[in-house]
Chain A
Amino acid sequence: DAGVIQSPRHEVTEMGQEVTLRCKPISGHDYLFWYRQTMMRGLELLIYFNNNVPIDDSGMPEDRFSAKMPNASFSTLKIQPSEPRDSAVYFCASSLIATEAFFGQGTRLTVV
């Protein structure tokens, strides 16, 4: 397996624009996590899914953020409209319940 795949690796966008981050989990994994990492706040859990169903989205900072998992092999995190304070590295991770969580390489988002 190629591991958790995230795209794009880097995204630079203007304030107010819509941003969509994508994640392909490891095949067979039934948990998918979205995290945001900043120097100030470290790694923050935004939302996680089990069997494509959102379990806890209490970490989503605002209504501008939304996440979907239409099937077991794909998830998106959308920010609309984007703001400069959304600039961060966004990570996706997947796992089975009792196994290691594996992370993607992240998407570095810059909102100018």
Chain B
Amino acid sequence: KQEVTQIPAALSVPEGENLVLNCSFTDSAIYNLQWFRQDPGKGLTSLLLIQSSQREQTSGRLNASLDKSSGRSTLYIAASQPGDSATYLCAERGSARQLTFGSGTQLTVLP
């Protein structure tokens, strides 16, 4: 059974800091990996998708990387802002094509 782990569970940083969120997965036959953002009481918003053949994807201040050999992905947020405060979830699209989520990292950016 696929497992996805996110560490840390919570993170608090001062505004302006660069930060890295971690995601690890067990399925070596990963198809793609997706990062989402969830604000309190809201749905999930897609941030970045990395196909298994790719090493990284960038969107604005966000950069996501994928290392299949180590079973890891990272989400890098540059110059963090209070508006970045949310829960960030990674999800692996596995060999059976289902989407398995980690438990998320709750990020707080302090002004």
**Number of A-B residue pairs with CB-CB distance less than 8 Å in the complex they form:** 52
Distance of A33 Cα from B101 Cα, bound (Å):
12
Residue A99, interface by CB 8 Å = yes
Residue B100, interface by CB 8 Å = yes
Partner of B49, one of A33, A43, A97, A100: A100
Evaluate contact between A56 and B98: CB separation under 8 angstroms: yes
Partner of B97, one of A42, A55, A99, A100: A55
Residue A50, interface by CB 8 Å = yes
Of residues 85 through 111 on chain B, the ones whose CB sits less than 8 Å from some CB of chain A are 89, 91, 93, 96-104
Q: A98-B32, A102-B46 are in contact. Are A42 and B98 (CB under 8 A)?
A: no
Provide the residues of chain A in CB contact with B101, threshold 8 Å: 35, 42-43, 45
Partner of B34, one of A48, A55, A100: A100
Provide the residues of chain B in CB contact with A97, threshold 8 Å: 31, 97
Residue A25, interface by CB 8 Å = no
Secondary structure dominating the interface of A:
strand
Partner of B99, one of A50, A101, A104: A101
Residue B51, interface by CB 8 Å = yes
Q: A43-B89, A98-B32, A98-B51 are in contact. Are A103 and B100 (CB under 8 A)?
A: no
Evaluate contact between A42 and B43: CB separation under 8 angstroms: no
Of residues 38 through 75 on chain A, the ones whose CB sits less than 8 Å from some CB of chain B are 42-43, 45, 48, 50, 55-56
List the B residue with the shortest CB-CB distance to A106: B43
Evaluate contact between B44 and A48: CB separation under 8 angstroms: no
Evaluate contact between B98 and A45: CB separation under 8 angstroms: yes
The interface of chain A, by Cβ under 8 A from chain B, is 31, 33, 35, 42-43, 45, 48, 50, 55-56, 91, 93, 95, 97-106
The interface of chain B, by Cβ under 8 A from chain A, is 31-32, 34, 36, 42-46, 49, 51, 89, 91, 93, 96-104
